[in-house]
Amino acid sequence: MKHRMENFWYHYKGMVVVCSVVLACVLSFAHERMTQKQNYLYLALVNVSAGDMLSEALTTGFLETEHVDAGAQQVAFLNGLRLVGQEAVEGQAGTDRQAGMEGQASMEEWEYAEASQMKLLAALETKRLDVVLMDREARDAFLQGGYLEGGAAVDVSDAPALRRAGMSGKVYLGIPKSSPRKERAQVYAQRLLSGEI
């Protein structure tokens, strides 16, 4: 029996190793697909940021009000995206040069804004983005670009979840025209304004 096993291993060890690797890859892929959460809603915050408490309310809080299993579905969340106009950055760069900083902070801010813009455009183009919470500057950019449903954004500054988190200033909610889940996005807006989130 020992001789048979040694003979088998000698002739087929390459095949056994290759089959083992392929089996491991297939099982890993199957596990990944079975445990991957589906996006129930895709939310982006532009020129406004949410701390942990508000992030939790805006994502998991919404899922709870919808009675959705948070283990199987999630609110995809882009937080802290930044859009700035080129004029604002150029003006800041001039101020920085006068202060001796050579525009380093402005250049980093501009690069971050460029990366944010690329993320937003990708989410819009792939029809993933459902809800955008933003400040006035971002709202104006979205409206000018014609990205928002109905050509409008709703002022949600007085939403209880935003007030509890200590957000100040105007915050607007917009639903992109390309949203594949407009009904859910409208429900999200209603629940945010009513204080259910």
- Provide the 3-class DSSP secondary structure of residue 179: coil
Amino acid 194: pLDDT: 95
Q: Backbone phi, then psi, for 195, in 5-degree steps?
A: 90, 5
Amino acid 84: pLDDT: 72
The answer to whether residues 131 and 162 touch, using CB atoms and an 8 Å cutoff, is no
13 pLDDT more than 90: no
The predicted model scores a pTM of 0.75
User: CA–CA separation, 95 vs 104, rounded Å?
Assistant: 11
State the pairing for strand pair 38-46/154-155: unpaired
Percent of the chain predicted with pLDDT > 90: 56
pLDDT tens figures, 80-115 = 899 875 444 444 444 444 444 455 557 888 888 889
In which band, very low, low, confident or very high, does the pLDDT at 178 lie, cut at 50, 70 and 90? very high
* Tokens describing residue 27: 């099982």
159 pLDDT more than 90: yes
